[in-house]
Structure 1
Amino acid sequence: MTAGGPDAVERRAALLARLAELPPERREALRARTLGGAAQASRSWPLSHGQERLWFLNRFDPADTSYNTPWCVRLRGAVDAGAIAAALTRVAERHHVLRARFLSADGGPVQTVGPAGPVPLELAEVAGDPAPAVVEFVNRPFDLETGPPLRAALMRLEDGDALLCIVLHHIVVDGWSLDVLMRELAECYAAGREGREPVLEELPLQYTDFAAEDRERDRTAQLEYWTRTLAGVPVLHLPADLPRPARRTGQGGQVPLLVPGEALDRLEKAARQGRCTLFMALLAAYQAALGLLAGQDDLCVGVPVAGRTRTELAPLIGYFSTTLALRADLSGDPPFSELLGRTRASLLRGMQHADAPFEQVLGALRLPRDLSRPPLFQAMFNLHNMPKDDLLRPTMGDLAVEVYPMPATGRTRAEVSVDAWRTAEGLGGVLDYAADLFTAATARRFARAFTTVVERAGADPGLRLSELGDL
């Protein structure tokens, strides 16, 4: 029979039918192995706007690990290291961005996708407190040009438990992505232990497709809003203990903060009366505290948002999040209730224009270059929406899982940054601070200033800003 005869046609049809029955990620892995990775490795994609800024920051200071994104869990039970490594490999097969390399080209940075292959899992025996080993593992720099932006370690502990530590560079991941990662990792691990194929939804596109689309979108209207709103915004001048260095190092510290449940409930009640959310009220309280500390009635606070504006982006791992630069108007020593209304309006308008990446906003503003401080805003605020079902999952296959609280890594991206979350006891959180500028004692004073405003504003939202703190 010739190559084009009936038998060949039947064999080809049968092969295509068998291929069609394979899960999408297995089809992609087979394609990559068949081509030896050449098809993907020889192709390049642009970086999204968010990725491009992180790439420039990495090139500017390759040793800076501020953008390393860790997630660690304690595993109890008979941990199968081989099944964990295989599960990580399956997730990296599905999400091409986890195999990306970031290269410098004539027209600017590009990303390529390496062939699918085993994801290394480092194994270690840890005696005593595992925190130092975790911090060392998290703080290793990534070489974005030659190595994958993902690494993982399994640390066996003295009590028989194990820590699974996963670290990704922020250029390929955001907070939402960690939830996706843990959901798929748990399913792939369970499937491997049970001898079955994992049940995973087909991905509608890859992050590289999104990045290419991101570069083509016209955001003129959004950028006009931000340049108009942020024109002339001053830097935040918090009272510092140390001389400002000519170039910030990213060295940081961390102090805890806590708002009792009764005080948080009162603030939330005041927020509802003003048609506001708890997040709006906490952000207003943070703005008020910063203004009182700095003696300013005009300042800017960065607020992270998910940036996934289309449903098909929900199942992807990648860097979609962006940061809204929200300008606070504290002029006239208003009552807290009035500030809350201003904050609500500012946030809602910002969300309407959130499609403009922070990096493009920075470019449009043409701010003077200043290596001594973060651009545009020096303070950040984030209220985490807990729980996240997959990040806080209690099991992974036949293992019991418990989140391992990350020890302070000694790095920070802002001069002051509050990360808060609601607990059964009230509001828990941490205040990260730039160790180049502030001592731990001053950072604790900043944290108390914020919690004091929360408590007093909740008790009486009619108090003016000047009456909200003894700073």
Structure 2
Amino acid sequence: MTHIPEDDSAEAGLRAVEQAALGHPDVARSAAVIHTGSGGAERLTVYVEPAGHAPTPEPDLIRDFLARTLPVFAVPDTVVLVRTMPLTASGAVDLEALPVPRRSPYGADRSARAELLTELIGAVLGVQRVSTDESFVDLGGHSLLVARLISLVRSVLPLTISMRDVLDAESIASLTARLDLQGRPDDRTAEVPAPPPTRPALLGTWAAGLRCTGPLDQDALAQALRDITARHTVLTPDGTPPALSVVTASEEETAVHVRRASARLEETPDGPRAVGALLVHGPAEHSLLLVVDRAACDEESLDVLVHEWCHAYTARSRGHAPTWELLPGAGPRQGAAESRRTADPAHGRERLAGPPAQLTLPYDRPRPAQPSRRAGSIPVTVPAGLHRDLREVARRYDSTLRMVLQAALATLLADRAGETDVVIGTARHGRTRESLDNVVGRLSDHAVLRFDLSGAPRFGEVVAQARQEALAADERRAPGSERLVDVSEPERPGARHPLFRTALELRTGSGDRPRLPGISATPLRLPTAFDLDLAVVLAETFDDLDEPNGLLGEVRYAADLFDRATAERIAQRWEQLLRAVAANPESSLDQLLTDADAEAAPQGPTAVVGEARR
């Protein structure tokens, strides 16, 4: 093992990490850098230039190699592959030209099974949040706790796990990744799924923007847009790069320009699938917009593109081309990653056979024949105490917070609609390995969860259904919602989603804000096409001690169907139900709904549901 004294200088420590990386046979050159994220946390990144004789190695395999070689405190948080290491005129590595690794806001767990495994490990160790970069032993685990973990995992999941698996794992991340592969093809060498030859059924656009203060180089910005679309060819099916449109506009006109860009994309299906725009508000005041066709990529791809546009701009503004992290090769064949998503269509048909045509929620207006796809938003804040209590409910039922929230949402929908057969969608992370983190494409989708709430079940039974449904999407390789549209051939009225009308998304990570040199950049909230009736979007937050610090997010609603006041009441009712669940998680659904009725609605400016009164 490489010896690095903990009190050694940072520079000497970085050089020792670089030398350890060079010990891997597939590494030709390496550089170690400490990056500071948006929240101030430092992350050690090792950049690797692969040896010319070898196939492109997997970043997680190189990290596992370093975990066996280096002391725990020196193991890198991230390994980034670059085709060629950028050099200065003197021949040293140009550290400023290296791409800063993007931290996903969706969290580190790659599947429902991996997320559940991490939660079970946290329950055994008695910690609220597991540091996935450390090993079970480093986190205080010992042989008695290993035995308890093995028993717990075997009781919840159909996995084979041994004491050696736990004790020999270099990190929690590598342990969950290894267990998550059981019974599945190892797709780490599979090609990335090729983009669809035709536009699929689910249309619309994603939009992201940055409000920028400071001098912007318009030529560098336009070249950077060409750089990212050349890197991700799914955005340019005909080979034509998109042009950057520059217009003078007020900040109030931003939404208008987003809608115009979206309309332009949908009207030209054979042209570029991305549009960039720079709105000039004043000499040093701008809004930078990126609108992308949903047929080309998923929502996380948008986060990738914004970060890479900023990275390319930084390089071009300094007079050189950007250095890119290597991407796995795309090809015409569908690799294992795609086959896992689309396998077993018969199971998908059986699982969704005969769901209700629609849940009749308290709509304020009839559904129009041609929906406008406009959405409203109610800010939602779940306080730290309730956040902590809900995580404890999850552990009581050997599940995850996501599953508890899904069960609560299904309960709310059944109550509002007077139905017992409830279908909701939940976002499913499609980047199943580290090398896919910066791939732009339709890798993520929605898993479709179906709940049977007949017979007055207790809440724990509904949580068990949520766990079973989520794991079925993994274990039985159930197809995602986009594929189910094809195999089930459901009726698609208007422009709305044919399989579910309500969705829940929980983001468990904390993404980094994009950065531009010499410019203050703040993310913009932009309108996008909304195909659902309701969607609950939440993000977990934690304090400096990794204790639960609340859930932040919003309830989005179809403006065609709901008045804002109605959506506010639904959001407030859901918060009251969450409080009832936290107080009496063993109760029946009927009792929880009665308790929620008794819960006093928040009043005035202290309301948990933000902007409840206008």
Q: Of 511, 514, 517, which residue of structure 2 is paired with 1:388?
A: 511
Structure 2 Cα separation of the partners of residues 388 and 376 of structure 1: 30
Partner residue in 1 for 2:530: 412
Q: How far 1:300 sits from its partner (Å)?
A: 0.4
Shift of 1:465: 1.5
2:232–2:440 CA contact under 8 A, matched in 1: yes
SS for the counterpart of 1:232 is coil
Q: Is the 8 A contact 1:244 1:372 kept in 2?
A: no
Is 2:232 the counterpart of 1:114? no
Retained in 2: the 8 A contact 1:187–1:397? no
Who is 1:36 aligned against? none
* 2:485 aligned with 1:400: no
Deviations, residues 407-430 of structure 1 (Å, cap 9, x unaligned) = x45x42111112222346622222
Q: Is the 8 A contact 2:262 2:291 kept in 1?
A: no
Partner of 2:485: 362
Kept in 2, the 8 Å contact 1:380–1:418? The answer is: yes
Query: What residue in structure 1 maps to residue 576 of structure 2?
Result: 452
Question: Shift in Å at residue 48 of structure 1?
Answer: 5.0
Tell me the secondary structure at the aligned position of residue 304 of structure 1.
strand
Query: Displacement, 1:362?
Result: 2.7
Change in Cα spacing, 1:266 to 1:159, as seen in structure 2 (3 Å) is: farther
> Deviations for 1:92-144, whole angstroms, at most 9, x for unmatched residues?
111111112xxxxxxxxxxxx315x5x42222233354544454445434134
- Change over 3 Å in CA distance of 1:203–1:281 after alignment to 2: same
Letter in structure 2 aligned against 1:120: A
Counterpart of 1:9?
Answer: none
Partner residue of 2:250 out of 127, 138, 156:
127
Cα RMSD of the aligned pairs, angstroms, is 3.1
CA distance in 2, matches of 1:404, 1:437: 25
In structure 1, how many angstroms separate the alpha carbons of the residues matched to 2:480 and 2:288?
Answer: 33
Give, in whole Å, the separation in 1 of the partners of 2:293 and 2:592.
Answer: 40
Inter-CA distance 166–281: structure 2 relative to 1 (3 Å threshold): same
After TM superposition, the structure 1 stretch with the greater mean CA deviation from structure 2, 242-251 or 149-158, is 242-251
Say if 1:91 and 1:181, in contact at 8 Å, map to a contact too. yes
Structure 1 residues 288-299: aligned runs within 5 Å: 288-299=411-422
Q: Residues 423, 131 of structure 1: CA spacing in aligned structure 2 closer, same or farther, 3 A cutoff? A: farther
Q: 1:187 & 1:287 partners in 2: Cα distance?
A: 41
Asked if residue 302 in structure 1 is aligned to residue 422 in structure 2, the reply is: no
In the TM superposition, what whole-angstrom CA distance separates every residue of 1:193-217 from its partner, at most 9, and x where no partner exists? 22233221233223x636x558995
1:362 to 1:126, Cα distance in 2 relative to 1, 3 A = closer
Report how far residue 218 of structure 1 moved: 8.7
Q: Is the 8 A contact 1:301 1:327 kept in 2?
A: yes
Contact 1:267 1:459 in 2 (8 A): no
**Worse-superposed segment, 395-404 or 339-348:** 395-404
Give 3-state SS (helix, strand or coil) of 1:293's partner: helix
Q: Deviations over 1:221-267 (max 9, x none)?
A: 62222222222222322132223334544344332322222212211
Q: Is the Cα contact below 8 Å between 1:324 and 1:354 reproduced in 2?
A: no
Distance 1:183 1:243 in 2: 41
Q: Does 1:184 align with 2:304?
A: no
Give the corresponding residue for 2:269: 145
1:93 is paired with a residue whose SS is helix
CA contact (8 A) 1:75 1:402 kept: yes
Contact 1:253 1:412 (C-alpha < 8 Å) held by counterparts: no
Whether the 8 Å contact between 1:307 and 1:355 is mirrored in structure 2 is: no
TM-score by length of 1: 0.75
Change (3 A) 1:196 1:266: same
Per the alignment, residue 458 of structure 2 pairs with 335
Q: SS of 1:140's equivalent?
A: helix
Q: Compared with structure 1, are the counterparts of its residues 195 and 371 closer, same or farther at alpha carbon in structure 2 (3 Å cutoff)?
A: closer
Please tell me the residue identity of whatever aligns with 1:459: A
- Alignment match of 1:250 (pick from 373, 376, 394): 373
Which shifted more, 447-456 or 420-429?
420-429
Which shifted more, 254-263 or 212-221? 212-221
How many angstroms does 1:318 deviate by? 1.4
Local SS of the residue matching 1:426: strand
Q: Relative to 1, partners in 2 of residues 1:154 and 1:48: Cα closer, same or farther, differing over 3 Å?
A: closer
Using the TM superposition, give the Cα deviation of residue 87 of structure 1 relative to its aligned residue in structure 2, in angstroms: 0.9
Deviation at 1:88, TM superposition (A): 0.9
Instruction: Name the residue aligned to 1:91.
Output: 228
Q: Which whole-Å deviations, capped at 9, do the CAs of 1:52-83 have from their partners, x for residues lacking one?
A: 5x54455xxxxxxxx21011112232211111
* 1:278 positional shift: 1.5
Unaligned segments of structure 2, at least 5 residues: 1-81, 85-192, 543-548, 598-614
Instruction: Give the letter for the 1:232 counterpart.
Output: G
Would the alpha carbon gap of residues 153 and 322 (structure 1) be closer, same or farther in structure 2, given more than 3 Å must change? same
Distance 1:82 1:369 in 2: 44
From 301, 313, 325, the equivalent of 2:448 is 325
The alpha carbon displacement at 1:396 in A equals: 2.0
Q: What is the aligned partner in structure 2 of residue 224 from structure 1?
A: 346
Partner secondary structure for residue 209 of structure 2: strand
* Match of residue 270 from structure 1: 393
**Which whole-Å CA distance do the structure 2 matches of 1:158 and 1:219 have between them?**
47
**Secondary structure of the structure 2 residue equivalent to 1:316:** coil
Counterpart code for 1:313? L
TM-score by length of 2: 0.59
1:81 corresponds to 2:215: no
1:438 and 2:554 are equivalent in the alignment = no
| Matched-pair contact (CA < 8 Å) for 2:202–2:482 | no
Aligned match for 1:348, one of 443, 466, 471: 471
Q: Give the residue type in structure 2 aligned to 1:172.
A: A
Distance in 2, Cα, partners of 1:290 & 1:315: 36
Deviation at 1:150, TM superposition (A): 0.8
Identity over aligned residues, as a percent?
29
* CA shift in 2, pair 1:138/1:255, >3 Å: farther
Partner in structure 2 of residue 104 of structure 1: none
Amino acid at match of 1:86: Q
- Secondary structure at the residue paired with 2:506? strand
Which deviations, in whole Å up to 9, do the C-alpha atoms of 1:415-453 show, x marking residues without a partner?
111222234662222222223332222211211122111
Answer whether contact 2:275 2:290 (CA < 8 A) is retained: yes
Q: What SS class does the counterpart of residue 405 from structure 1 fall into? A: coil
Q: Which deviates more, 292-301 or 142-151?
A: 142-151
Number of equivalenced pairs: 398
| Relative contact order higher in (CA < 8 Å, ≥ 6 apart) | 1
